Chain A
Amino acid sequence: MTAEQITKTDKMTGARVFLECLKKEGVDKIFGYPGGAILHIYDELYKFKDIKHYLVRHEQAALHAAEGYARVTGKPGVVLVTSGPGATNAVTGIANAYYDSYPLVVFTGQVDTKLIGNDAFQEADIVGITRTCCKHNYLVKNLVELPKIIKEAFHIAKTGKPGPVVVSLPKDVLTSRMTFEYPERVNLPGYNPNYEGHPIQCRRALKLLCEAQRPVIISGGGVIHSEAWEQLQDLAEKLNIPVATTLMGIGTFPQDNELSLGMLGMHGNYWANLAVSNCDVLFAVGTRFNDRITGCLKRFCKDAKVIHVDIDPCSISKNVHVDIPIVGNAKNVLNVILNEYKTGEYKYDNKMREMWIKQTDLWKSNKPVFAVPNGILHPQTVINHIYEKTKNLKTIIATEVGQHQMWTAQLYKFTRPRQLITSGGLGTMGFGFPAAIGAQIADKDALVFNIAGDGSIQMNIQELMTCVDYKIPVKIAVINNGYLGMVRQWQEKLFDKHYSQTPITSPDYVKLADAYGVLGLRITQENQIDEALDKAINYNGPVIMDFIVEPFEMVYPWVLAGKPINEVILSNEADETGKGE
């Protein structure tokens, strides 16, 4: 009998059915951590050669690694963890993927169906716990439902607005037997994401964009999900419109393009914020207008007409009033608008456009300056050197959350989508390092950097061992300022320099590197940076670089929470002269 015949005729255990389903979905890599309730799958996995399992050191890291994998490949990341604590440890990672809309399918073990609700050992109601932080979830009560549920889970995770789907697998489901059959299609009458933008709305949008005198495009994460960056660039260039990106949209518009305004928002470029504040038509694609983008909502684009393209109707008019809503996939919508423009019926006044672009160029002189100019190594200098050393290589940068994240977003000139991997919505410290591991597994030829803070890196530093086990050559650059810098920055400005619980100590990272068996380097002077980076890039394995930097450097530009985005603090001095509070 061939393998094919066996799968057709013999009854299989639930554990085997599970793996066959994953194979049908084209899964060849999963991230996970074993435990009692999920043992039967791990036993099958032992014999199953088509799927490679990556063992992490903490379930949270498995989720972030799977998300890093999803961000690089565009395919769902798959996670397998056990019941109870395995499942609850996964929750932060599930929420992180939910808020940044990346597809994950997360399988968690569960106690026997007859024990559910009895407070059994390692029982947690993961379906109840994750209800508000995942796109959908399932509790499998019968083995016969399992193939259908897995098919639906993958379909839901990757279509519409992507997101994580959780599937809870009771132990007795995994041990019962059935004849394996995988459904051809899903039947979900309540789930029909709208991919095609309404053509009349698209025409109205194009007409408004042509009539505009001071238009601006905001490109968000949805442009990455729908792979619409070429269409977006095409439209911006054809209509001569400046483009700002959100944090999640970084890379969707090349920063060396002269229409690029870079990132906008709380720590975005002053000129991007000014352009958005002064525009008369705002064309927002694939962004949900997070408060970090809009600042004071009442004063955000208050005189502008807003066109909003999003696949999720809930995002439209949730925060910002929208004049022309277009529900659909960004790529399809932009294609319709571009085709409409090709008819030649729509004209705009290019002289007016050139004046507007000249104005945005003038604003570009408002650059932030070092907060603490002195001879000590500045974090911004480190980021600039990393950029110069890696700009011509196929580099992926993963960051944690905090000051280093904002400096990276501001100073590293990203030119490709999927090049920056960062936690935008949930803002999860400890995300970057495991995400970098997942990114490296997804693309083994890429040079993967994890730019981290000394606070964040200690949240998932145990994953160094995962890197060593699987020879994953991630390069970690710790921007070590001895503080939880972003919180310290708020304390300095808004809490009378009460540095409450923000000074944070670190282990000796060079010794720690040695203990794990990775390369450790310490850098304290600017003239040591390039040599260290060369060494790290050429080293065939994981590296941890400890950059000891100025502790009191601030992230500028800075819009204080709740202020309008054109009220920007650019330096310590501007600070003294009475802006802000």
Chain B
Amino acid sequence: MKHTISVLVKNEPGILSSVCDLFSTRGFNIESLTVAATIDTSFSRITIVTNGDDIVIEQICKQLNRLINTIKVVELPKSADKCIDRELILCKVTAKDDARNEILRIAEIFGAKIIDVSTETYTIEFSGDTRQVVTLLALLKPLGVKELVRSGMVAITRENQFINLDR
């Protein structure tokens, strides 16, 4: 079962290691992980996507909470009406002859941007939820993807369910 966990931590060295250790010692693969400072730069937010059974994930969340430098740990809701998630991709696609137009059409449908052009390639920037990203990539793949850089997922809850320094 896929889980997205959002962890607010002190912006200090070592904390990322401690967080990752809790997953790796149980043999859980972290599917994606993003870290960046929050508005208050003395804190960082880590967004982790992982697979595992609910009981073990609950235990990991408790143990993440137990780390001294974690401020708050939240497992984000799975349904799209409660939580918005996004990934960013930068994708270099072979673009020759007819394919040049085809790529532009696909990009237009998805609302993706062309951020670099050469005689033989386009580089596309796109952000969207995982399903959109996977679909776009499936369409681009037959045209020849030369290089793909994909960020981890970031996610935020809707309405007033902010994860913030509220203590």
- Point out residues on A near B: beta carbons under 8 Å: 127-128, 131-132, 135-137, 139, 156, 188-192, 312-314, 317-318
Contact = CB atoms under 8 A, between A and B. Distances in A.
Contacts of A313: 62, 65-66
B21 A131 contact: yes
Contact of B59 (A135, A156, A188, A318): A318
Contact of B71 (A135, A137, A190): A190
Contacts, number: 38
Nearest to A135: B68
B68 A132 contact: no
B27 interface: no
B68 A131 contact: no
Interface in B32-87: 55, 58-59, 62-63, 65-72
Given A131-B14, A188-B68, A190-B69, 8 more contacts: A127-B14, A128-B17, A189-B71, A189-B165, A190-B71, A192-B167, A313-B65, A317-B58
Nearest to B18: A131
Nearest to B73: A190
Nearest to A321: B55
Closest 6 CB pairs of A and B: A136-B68, A314-B62, A190-B71, A191-B68, A313-B62, A190-B70
Interface residues of B, number: 22
Interface centre among A128, A314, A318, by most chain B C-beta atoms within 10 angstroms, is A314
A147 to B, nearest CB: 18
Nearest to B63: A314
Contacts of A137: 14
A78 to B, nearest CB: 19
11 contacts: A128-B17, A131-B17, A131-B21, A135-B68, A136-B68, A190-B67, A190-B70, A314-B63, A314-B66, A317-B55, A317-B58
Nearest to A132: B21
A312 B59 CA distance: 12
Interface in B111-150: none
A489 to B, nearest CB: 31
Contacts of A136: 68
B69 to A, nearest CB: 6
B10 interface: yes
Contacts of B59: 314, 318
Contacts of B63: 314
Contacts of B72: 190
A68 to B, nearest CB: 26
Contacts of A188: 68
Nearest to A189: B71
